[in-house]
Structures are given as C-alpha cells and as structure tokens.
Structure 1
Amino acid sequence: MIHTQNTATQHGVIVAEEAPVRKGNGASYALQFPRPLHSGAEFTVIERRGSWLHIRLENGANGWIRQAFAALW
C-alpha cells in the first residue's frame, strides 16, 4: 500500500451522485455517516492512501471516500 501525505492544502468536490463515507480507507470499514455525500459537497483532503482520500467537511466532520468519487484542485 502506498502512503502519501500532502504538505499543501488540497480541496475537492464530490462528482459522483453519491459517495459513501467510511471510517477507514477501504470498503470493509463501517460507514462514518448514515447517509452518503452528494454531488457538489466540498471538502479538504487530510491524507491519501492508495485510491482513498481522508477528507474533512466544512462542519469539521471527517472520513474516507474513494478518490474516484471526487475531483481535486
């Protein structure tokens, strides 16, 4: 598994219709929130692990999503 950490702040937006947020960087982890994030939800990237992003929302909540569900800038 490749582990990288960004030193610059990176932001993103959900581009998938729905993006389930997990408690860890894998589909086997439990859901962090009862409902998925929807297209247009913006976030800050905390960390990357493989094809997973650890994200923080504006309200301070955080969790993991598949990178394929997001566009980054």
Structure 2
Amino acid sequence: MEDPYATVEVRNPNAREAVFTAKVSFKAGNGFTLIDSTHQVTVPAKSRKTFRVAVAGAGGALDEVDHCEVDPTATADW
C-alpha cells in the first residue's frame, strides 16, 4: 500500500522563475491540526508545478487525518 499524501499545485504568474513557500496542514475531522508542513518549490515563469506532500510524522494519529488545508497564497522568494 502506498503511503498517504496530498497533491499540491503552485502557479507562478510572474515573468521570471521564483522559489515559492507552500504551507500544508493535515487536519482531524474536528479541525485540530495534526501536522503542519512547509515546502519550497521552484516554479518556472508563467508556469505551474505539482508535487506530493507525504502525511509524515503523524505516528499513531495517521488514522485521525481527515483532510488537508493549503494556504491559498504561497510566498515567493526572488
């Protein structure tokens, strides 16, 4: 069985390549945050990049993961 993960897409509408910081949280059904993670991804100009975020570090709480939430705005580092 494959380890659980979320798929995240970061879009770069800018005219030059940038490194974006994306924040992903895995939550329990009651809204409690089980895992917070931050990922840096390089996205070419006027393009998008899709990547997987593993549900890592949940330990015994893995069965409690109900959904993930992604900060809708990734910050860019030029």
TM-score (norm 1): 0.31
Give 1 or 2: higher strand fraction.
2
Bigger radius of gyration among the two: 2
